Structure 1
């Protein structure tokens, strides 16, 4: 999830666990600790594109990491706040709950987190909420900042924190219910279109939980369609993306290519662009692709093999081009499509 959501949830949990004893210190440290698992982003940037691919949402998002880190944070915070007479065990408990909350809400996003590292590198993903969903953060945004202006002894602090956490958690759980319902709609749409899917992956589009994207795998590629919760019919229009996996065959033994296939969970397309191979993670697709947007896919990687498949193989992450005027227009189109308007 986005930084703001993690920060606000961490602050609320800090209040609920130690707010009465430590006041704003608990809120502040809860907010700060909630961001620790995302140190994988700057570290990954230093490691390079290939290493960052699996390091992201990796060990820093594992149960082992948060469980080992929490006692260390507890002892550190107890020393920093000796005057508050809060034991290191209480600080550690708060730290563990905050860190765990980061893992839980990231679990509901699409990218996946490797919860069981180093024992298993399987990435768990419920894929029911966008990485940025303003409606999830809103209850926390309306309650957590208010805590800072109330005396720590006031019961209203606990009440506000509970309201923020409860409402946002109900919304989060509701996104998974949405996913189950939308998956059924996509299956009906595929059946009507005569498409026999080997598997189906459904996720919400960015900033909302109303417009959903489905990708269905068939023998040689994938069918992609969209469905709004406000549509009065199942998805009707599906676009086929050929996999072209044979282009990747000479490179499949390269560790970085195996990592690409694992991270994309097998939903990918290979394209040859200017004599170079591009690997596209089709779980995310193109930005606003129902508008026949011609921008690159959100996650696209160039295969770098100057000496051919028998030499060193690396990847380069391709960035999306930013066009402010165009992006504002597509955001307006997103609103229209969410409302069930297709033209």
Structure 2
């Protein structure tokens, strides 16, 4: 998820755990703990473009990192707040849940989470929620801001926080059910339309769970389209060739193989007028869904005297007033 979601979710968990004893400090500490795993973004600029893809949401999002960090964070907080009569084990538990929430919820995005690193490079990605989902974020964010203005002993703080967490949790569960329903409908449409496929990817577009990117892979490429659950109309598919043959001479390069592994095989390749190759990850959907070339992740592959050089664009989900307006027109 985006950093703001992790911050407010961690803050809400902190409030439930220790808000009654330490007030708004519980919000602060929970927010800080909730965002720690994403501090890996300060290291990725020093890595090559392909390595940075795997470092983000890698070891800092692993169960090993969680086990190692929780007691350290708990001990540090116990020293900072030693004036309060709070046991070390309570601080350790306090540290555990915001960190766990970060790792857990990231598993439901397309990017995936390396929870088993360094023992396995498998990434868990259930594709049920967009990285930025305002409907999930809003109840918790409102609750966290609201409770800041009440005294720590006021029971209404816990009530408001639990309501916010409850609403977001209900929506989270809805996204799982919604994905199952979306996949069922798409599979039926593909069967009825006699569209053959080997793999099917369904993943929500940014902002909510009411617009889905559909990618049906066959031997030569992909049928790609968008599904609107509220409108419940058949998907209009456009075919995108994989063009994997353009990479044949480069398959001995480790970075190319890792790049293909990152895309999980959902990619297309193009050659520009300069002879450079462009590889696009098809698993991500920008909000400018009417532009077939609005790729979120783009990788330029240049041949050099020393081999190849890979550069990547900054993820661009094209979230702006114009695309948000079109989003609401299409969805509702």
TM-score normalized with structure 1 length: 0.91
1:219-250 per-position Cα deviation (integer Å, ceiling 9, x unaligned):
11011011101224332x11111111111122
Q: Which residue of 2 aligns with 1:169?
A: 169
**Aligned pairs (5 A) from 1:109-148:** 109-148=109-148
Which segment drifts farther, 188-197 or 71-80? 188-197
Q: How many residues align?
A: 331
Distance between the aligned counterparts of 1:53 and 1:111, measured in 2? 9
SS at match of 1:222: strand
Asked if structure 1 preserves the Cα contact closer than 8 Å seen for 2:10 and 2:30, the reply is yes
Distance 1:256 1:12, change over 3 A: same
Distance between the aligned counterparts of 2:194 and 2:318, measured in 1? 38
Q: Which residue of 1 aligns with 2:297?
A: 299
Q: Which residue of 2 aligns with 1:17?
A: 17
Distance 1:284 1:193, change over 3 A: same
Q: CA deviation at 1:294?
A: 5.6
Alignment RMSD: 1.9
Q: CA deviation at 1:87?
A: 2.1
Q: CA deviation at 1:50?
A: 2.4
Distance between the aligned counterparts of 1:160 and 1:322, measured in 2? 32
Q: CA deviation at 1:288?
A: 2.5
Q: Which residue of 2 aligns with 1:178?
A: 178
Q: CA deviation at 1:162?
A: 1.4
Question: Is 2:30 aligned against 1:30?
Answer: yes
**Structure 1 unpaired stretches of 5+:** none
Asked if structure 2 preserves the Cα contact closer than 8 Å seen for 1:256 and 1:313, the reply is no
Distance between the aligned counterparts of 1:81 and 1:285, measured in 2? 44
1:74-102 per-position Cα deviation (integer Å, ceiling 9, x unaligned):
11111111101222221121111100101
Distance between the aligned counterparts of 1:87 and 1:322, measured in 2? 45
**Structure 2 unpaired stretches of 5+:** none
Asked if structure 2 preserves the Cα contact closer than 8 Å seen for 1:64 and 1:116, the reply is yes
TM-score normalized with structure 2 length: 0.94
Asked if structure 2 preserves the Cα contact closer than 8 Å seen for 1:220 and 1:243, the reply is yes
Distance between the aligned counterparts of 2:132 and 2:249, measured in 1? 37
Q: Which residue of 2 aligns with 1:284?
A: 284
Q: CA deviation at 1:253?
A: 2.3
Q: Which residue of 2 aligns with 1:315?
A: 310
1:272-292 per-position Cα deviation (integer Å, ceiling 9, x unaligned):
112001111011156533x2x
Distance between the aligned counterparts of 2:126 and 2:36, measured in 1? 22
1:179-205 per-position Cα deviation (integer Å, ceiling 9, x unaligned):
110111111221232211101000111
Distance between the aligned counterparts of 1:272 and 1:105, measured in 2? 37
Q: CA deviation at 1:62?
A: 0.7
Distance between the aligned counterparts of 1:32 and 1:323, measured in 2? 28
4+ residue runs of structure 1 moved beyond 6 angstroms? 320-324
Q: Which residue of 2 aligns with 1:70?
A: 70
Distance 1:178 1:136, change over 3 A: same
Asked if structure 2 preserves the Cα contact closer than 8 Å seen for 1:11 and 1:27, the reply is yes
